[in-house]
Amino acid sequence: MDASFFRYVLKEIKGVLVGSRVEKIYNPLDLVWSFKISKKTNLIFKYGAKDNFVFLSKNRPQNPLRPGSQVGWWRKRVLNRWIEDILVDWPKRLFVIKLSHRDTDSDDFIIFDLKNGLTLTKQPPPIPDSISWPPINEIIQDKQIYKRYPHITSPFRYNLLELDIDFQKKFYKDFIEENIKEFYVYEIDENVELSLWKRSNIKGYKENIFKSANDAAEYYGWSILNKLKDKEINLSKRLKRAEKRLEKERQKLEKWLKLGKMAILIQQNLHQFDINKHYDKISVTDENGSLIDIELDASLSLIENMNKMFKMAKKAKRGLDYLETKDLEKVNIEDYKKRKNRSLQKIPLPSRISGLKVKVYKSSDGYFIVSGKNQEANHKLLSFGATSHDLWLHASGGPGAHVIIVRDNPKKEIPQRTLEEAAVIAGRFSYQRDSDYLEVIYSEVRYIKKIKGKPLGEVEVTKVLGSLLVKNDSSIEKLRIY
């Protein structure tokens, strides 16, 4: 949804939302949120790089039978609170809902950002009081006018150029004064586009005309939601087929793995046979003293059969390890969806961390674990993203990422399990990444001092609170939320 259209949608829905109460919150699809409002309507919101939208509708998408953990997080903090005001920064395609105050610890503002998603915060971002408008001739002549006037987007300018010269001035005046009366949705093949005016430069389209920007946005939004639902159904079918294929592969590899035991028995009884002779079957005694038959490939000698069995068993072990650590995560559809949601949905973080280039994990005990992605991110994480009482971890004796465990207050004890999980993360993103065991030190951020004149990320630890030796475990990535 372009900023120019977003502006008109927010103008219409603002009056409906103010004075209403948030009754329910849903997360029906990836990047899609639905807020049931007390005025018998639903605020439907989708964010992301493309196909984003916001609109009000009497209907809402079908929701999962069980809400995810993030839905529960939002419901706990937002349900039954009143919407007192709406702040709009339409050039940035975001708006802020001011909620009724609950208590001293409550976050009272929800930021709806079409690009980045939802954020619950104590303070709203700065909203400009007014917007300056360039002369229309300047818009037409300057292809990069968006650099000086971000609200004059490229789509807005290109579409303005399509209009007749006489109509350009009238339309531009009406747009500034928020006086546009008709809104369009164009369906072109499988694509859907919103427009503030009638278009004549496209062929093979279906034109839908609305008297309300919200009605147009609703038609547009439902078109996208229906496609997303179809994609999700197709994804589930593909994953089920993949599950069957991988189960079949697993059964084959497990059969190969058993050949290793047969090969050992042959090896233990080689003295009884001619190793160069071709057998179709031999009988040997197992570890329990029982006589068992082993089927062989008669085209190969006994020693060749044995070596082939060892080779296939070794390959089977590698294959089963791969399935266990990689593909089985994708096979389980529900687990796949949960992991996908964790990676795509922005879980609300302390505002000091939001916007930094970091990896974020949520420990088994519910604590945020944050790791810098590069030297600059490490520097900013310590400078701006961490408080003095947050816990800091780093690989012992060499380079690595700075890892922070976010703490609400200095008296809160970090559970041992969370501490060990953070240590695994710190060790895996360091020079120790290939080691079986990882040695990590930890301290509080107040004891970590940046060294003037040294490269970004280099620090001095004035007090070490302890060290940990943890096993290198790739499954730690399951805790990553983005």
Identify whether 378 is part of a domain: yes
Pair 384, 425 in one domain:
yes
Pair 329, 378 in one domain:
no
Pair 354, 466 in one domain:
yes
Pair 376, 285 in one domain:
no
The pLDDT tens digits along the chain (482 residues) read: 888 889 999 999 998 999 999 999 998 888 889 999 988 899 999 998 888 999 999 988 877 767 777 888 889 899 999 999 999 998 888 999 999 988 877 888 999 999 888 888 888 888 888 888 888 888 888 888 888 888 888 878 877 887 777 788 888 888 888 888 889 888 877 788 888 877 766 665 788 889 999 999 999 988 888 887 777 666 667 777 777 888 888 888 888 988 988 999 999 889 889 999 999 999 988 888 888 999 999 999 999 999 999 999 998 888 887 776 554 444 444 444 444 444 434 445 666 676 678 888 988 888 889 998 888 888 888 887 888 888 999 999 888 889 999 887 777 788 889 999 999 999 999 999 888 889 999 999 889 888 777 777 788 889 989 889 999 888 888 888 87
Q: Please give the Cα distance from 85 to 6 (Å, whole number).
A: 18
Pair 270, 359 in one domain:
no
For the chain, how many helices (H) and strands (E)?
Answer: 11, 21
Number of domains the chain contains? 3
Pair 408, 456 in one domain:
yes
Q: Nearest Cα to 403, choosing from 391, 389, 388?
A: 391
Pair 372, 454 in one domain:
yes
Pair 468, 357 in one domain:
yes
Name the pTM for this structure.
0.53
Last residue of a domain, which of 121, 156, 184? 121
Question: What is the DSSP track for 422-477?
Answer: HHHHHHHTBTTTTSSEEEEEEEEGGGEEEPTTSPTT-EEES---EEEEEE--GGGG
Identify whether 287 is part of a domain: yes
Phi, psi of 474 (to 5 degrees): -70, -20
Domain extent for 258: 246-334
Pair 318, 364 in one domain:
no
Identify whether 201 is part of a domain: no
Pair 302, 392 in one domain:
no
Identify whether 168 is part of a domain: no
Q: Please give the Cα distance from 391 to 412 (Å, whole number).
A: 11
Identify whether 434 is part of a domain: yes
Identify whether 31 is part of a domain: yes
Q: Give the residue carrying structure tokens 């994708």.
A: 330
CATH of the domain at 40: 2.30.310.10
Pair 368, 460 in one domain:
yes
Identify whether 58 is part of a domain: yes
What dihedral angle (degrees, nearest 10) is formed by the CA atoms of 413, 418, 424, 427? -30
Pair 360, 455 in one domain:
yes
Identify whether 66 is part of a domain: yes
Last residue of a domain, which of 66, 87, 121? 121
Please say whether the beta carbons of 199 and 159 come within 8 A.
yes
